[in-house]
A and B are shown apart, each in its own frame.
With several copies, the nearest count.
Chain A
Amino acid sequence: MQVKQSVNDFVIKFANVNGTGSASANGMFAKAIFRMGIPVSPRNIFPSNIQGMPTWYEVRVSEDGYLGRRGGTDIMVCVNPQSMAKDVAEVEPGGYFVYDNTKPLDLRYVRDDIHYIGIPLTEICLREYTDARQRLLFKNVIYVGALAALLNMDFAVLKDLVGDQFKGKEKLITPNIYALELGYQYASNNFECPIGIRVESGRAVAKHIKDFDNILMDGNTAAALGAVYAGATVAAWYPITPSTSVVDAFDKYCRRLRIDPGTGKKNYAIVQAEDELSAMGMVIGANWNGARAFTATSGPGISLMSEFLGLAYFAEVPSVLIDVQRAGPSTGMPTRTQQSDILSAAYASHGDTKHVLLFPATPAECFSMTLESFDLAERLQTPIIIMSDLDLGMNEWMSPPLEFDDDFRYDRGKVLSGDDLEAMTERFGRYLDVDGDGIPYRTYPGAHPEKGAYFTRGTSRDEYAAYTEDGAAYVRNMDRLLKKFETAKSLVPAPKIKQAAIETRFGAVFFGTTASPAYEAIEILEKEGIDLDTMRIRSFPFNMDVEEFLKEHDRIFVVEQNRDGQMRRLLLNETYAPAKEKLVPILEYDGLPVTARKIATMIRNYITHGNVTPINRRRRAADAEEVVA
């Protein structure tokens, strides 16, 4: 049988039982390859359950620095009998199946086109450990050790990682390293190491990663840091997967950075609300009162917050909401990813409403966009919704390092201080469009003894915040809100546009976590002679670049991870370009991150079967590469 040969380019998947501590061992495995300087992208595919159910950890190793899912599995490390049938079937021909051969393998799982590597994990554990818990935990460390030998990993790197991991609990270091060695020894003694599929450090080109000065981190932590750097002092939230770790991380960093050493008092407040409605209300109240406040939630929370989002839009109270999307509708698949809250977020709440959305694609953007969102919210005096997702938020991604310019200063927007009010001769009108950009001036409660007090309400009001049922006043206010939304177009992050080397009528549009696999798919297609310009949308409302892109191409594939092509709909709704027939939906929505192969296939099929033939290829002057990978 053919032996699959591949250096620094393969997909390895671990099949475990959740709640058995496999996560940290698997994480160590991925981190080790990362430390060896080889691009890696690990993904946790876990159940909505706490203990005892099947869970998977998929690691893609890609010398080229492709970080999206590729599709297919080359090496399956199976530690969970429950899912073995499915797991065996998933291995690509020529691939490897690593399993616990303490008990002989069920013959039904024997394929003649893949390689089997048996390691008596249970047996070794029974021999080496007495304590049941230890037997469970070290099993994971042992197979990592074995993989080190099989895949030619740098054992020293693994040792260092163990050191880092158990900083503070030093006495755990030796037993863990010992367990690694048990696995390493067994593999080297019983198999010819390394196997055909393996890693080699020092040869990474990583053409997708600007330079290899990269970090490995999850998007939720990055977003939390963004909030810390933005000076957020109030976080109100209600627990929900996959957004919980945003506030957990915010809490962690605040405990480190925001506690006054002298008094031990906190320069921040985190409140676990009784539900999402309340969390959003607290965010609105705090922002109204001049603090920077945010919340993080997922789909069901968006639905529950929609009344308050309408209030914030209409009463013009800044607020920041991080939506870490999961598979809907309703409770859906809480531990699967999707990009399916686009429409509900953009138009949240009854009546004529529109909300500003940001679409981060990397942890670095989770950081920068969250940081930016507070300025945007206060400058525009409206909610800003950051549309992350489970894949980005809860998995570790290779990302450009987080950057912060110390000259950066917060823009708190149009706020009149006590002195401003004191100096003011004209009457203060909370909802007066003084500057013609649709954005009025606000004051904080308590700003001035006599001036600046106003009445905030969700009911119709005139320019001086007085209640009115006068149709003309209502319309003036609604039209100003529209104008403000126009102004927003000039403030939100512009899309990233990449032209194909070859001039083309085809375009591809995507955003968020769809970007990495999409960029890879575009390259796959390019090799086949199908060229597409690409636009990665980073915000809503859409600016002129988006309009242009739609105009300039006659077939545009909108790649997204939802059933209804929500971004495509939003583009139809909110751009001038008559692009309906042009916009081809490329959709994946099974809850797992879309793969490059899948995207390439769908676009290829459309073009070949839709017999849309690429025009003869003319080379174009290369332009700056965008880095999302």
Chain B
Amino acid sequence: MTYVKPAFRHPEAPINDLGYTRQVYEGGLSTLCAGCGHDSVSAAIIDACFELSIEPHRVAKLSGIGCSSKTPAYFLSGSHSFNSVHGRMPSVATGANLANRDLIYIGVSGDGDTASIGLGQFAHVVRRNLNMTYMVENNGCYGLTKGQDSATMDTGSSNKKGDVNLYSPIDLARLAIEIGATFVGRSFSGDKQQLVPLIKAAISHRGFALLDVISPCVTFNNHAGSTKSYENVRNSNEAMPVDFVPMREEITATYDSGETCEVCMHDGSVVRLYKQKNDYDIEDRQSALQAIHHYQSQGKVLTGLLYIDRDSEELHDVLGTARRPLNTMTEQELCPGSKFLDSINAGLR
């Protein structure tokens, strides 16, 4: 944010359905460390929004505090953004969404922000099935405060000091599935092929969509001995390829041939999964937990779309709020006027 960016735009830069170039979806220049996984995630968000032809001003970006939480400054500069306080973004996002259900809400958080100080708010925003995309840029450490262990750090992984973690880690994806999340994906900042379609699917999902993105911290947690280093993640990544097909014609059912499975999203778009050997039902919580466990027990990390509940009730359905955003309700609609007050007074005599 501190420098001005060169506004030069290449003449034949591709444009999307709105006639916008990818540049329109960019943000300020990143101040993160060169090579930080978070920057790749920002790039993936930019691609996803560009390809989905989203109007930037229809997006609200929210975050907590941390290197990861700084990133909303580095994409979609045309969107309003709220960089709140540490671990409390979910509540701010909830309030924002209550006020205007028509915007697209993208939350960016870190593993410290979400799994430590923010765990309570995270669990409860999941429970409320708030209609938003919640991205955790998970590097297993506290980047901005110089590399302390986070609660997602794997048992046996060592930090930069060389201390080995003996606590059991919090697996945010499993936790979310357990607590009732309706869309849970996991990916890797280094795997654009998988990450971009996942982000598109998450945005298209109606309800709470968690993306737990392993995003290495090159400065404090990229050493040998760290399970969240680029190298180790590349080796242990059991990636389930994902395609996102923005559909025009109607599709209702979910089609599943042994190896590919097509999940029809709420807005008619389709997520296509290439499941390879992991034959489990991604619409069944228990089976999803089972699958994650299956690979974990082999020292692998399953990435892709892990679980989805396609027709869940998001918070506004549960509350039964009006279709029209609450922030558009007029004084006339909201204020009962003096007549009613007279009846109140009368009733209190």
**Chain A: residues with CB nearer than 8 A to chain B?**
19, 35, 48-53, 214-217, 225, 228-231, 233-234, 236, 238-241, 244, 257-258, 260, 263-291, 293, 300, 307-308, 311, 330-331, 401-406, 409-410, 443-450, 453-459, 466-468
Contact = CB atoms under 8 A, between A and B. Distances in A.
Contact of A244 (B102, B121, B146): B146
A274 B151 contact: yes
A215 B322 contact: no
Nearest to B18: A449
A406 B340 CA distance: 11
B277 interface: no
Contacts of A51: 32-34, 219
Given A266-B321, A278-B124, 15 more contacts: A51-B33, A52-B31, A216-B348, A216-B349, A233-B327, A269-B98, A271-B315, A281-B121, A284-B92, A307-B88, A405-B338, A446-B102, A449-B57, A453-B57, A453-B81
Nearest to B3: A82
Contact of A289 (B33, B99, B120, B320): B99
- Majority secondary structure of chain A interface residues (helix, strand, loop or mixed): loop
Interface centre among B123, B316, B329 (most CB of A within 10 A): B329
B204 to A, nearest CB: 19
B95 A445 contact: no
A273 B100 contact: no
7 contacts: A50-B146, A53-B31, A217-B348, A270-B319, A285-B97, A443-B80, A445-B80
Given A455-B73, A456-B83, A291 B326 contact: yes
B95 A260 contact: no
B336 interface: yes
Given A215-B348, A231-B334, A293 B121 contact: no
A183 B269 CA distance: 64
Contact of B81 (A286, A404, A456): A456
Contacts of B329: 231, 233, 267
B25 to A, nearest CB: 13
Per CB-CB distance, the 6 closest pairs between chain A and chain B, nearest first, are A285-B95, A281-B91, A291-B99, A445-B80, A282-B95, A289-B99
Contact of A283 (B80, B95, B102, B148): B95
A231 B335 CA distance: 6
Given A281-B84, A331-B65, A286 B95 contact: yes
A421 B300 CA distance: 52
B103 A446 contact: yes
B143 interface: yes
A217 B151 CA distance: 33
Given A409-B331, A450-B78, A456-B83, A404 B337 contact: yes
Interface string B161-191: 0000000000000000000000000000000
A449 B85 CA distance: 27
Contacts of B77: 453
Contacts of A281: 84, 88, 90-92, 94-95, 121
A50 B33 contact: yes
A268 B121 CA distance: 22
Given A50-B33, A285-B95, A331-B85, A290 B100 contact: yes
Interface centre among B58, B123, B151, B327 (most CB of A within 10 A): B327
